[in-house]
Amino acid sequence: MTDSSLMPLWEVFIRPRNGLNHKHVGSLHAADAKMAMQAARDVYTRREEGNSIWVVRASDIVASNPENSDENFDPAADKVYRHPSFYDIPDEVGHM
């Protein structure tokens, strides 16, 4: 599937500031990691969008298949007992 004459695709993740997660912001094409990093800095941080960049080769990302979404994610829907509000405790207890 990967045509070697094509510029590889990279996904770019930026951390807006310390204390926050890196978040996917977009993608770009570059021959190698160093050039991907430079391009990500030029394109995605022109307005102080962050202080840290990750670039990941898109072909290295393993993604779940949307066709399997039902069996992957529906089972969580009927498990309300995983949430604190499922349990009855006396009001007098206050915050718990």
Name the residues that contact another protein, by CB under 8 A. Answer: 1-9, 11, 25-32, 35, 43, 46-47, 58-59, 61-63, 65-67
Residue 10 beta carbon to another protein: minimum distance, rounded to whole angstroms: 10
Residue 31 beta carbon to another protein: minimum distance, rounded to whole angstroms: 4
Q: Which of these, 68, 2, 3, 46, lies nearest to 12 by C-alpha position?
A: 46
Q: Which two tokens stand for residue 86?
A: 């499922």
Residue 55 beta carbon to another protein: minimum distance, rounded to whole angstroms: 13
Question: CA geometry: angle at 32 spanning 29 and 36, to 5°?
Answer: 50
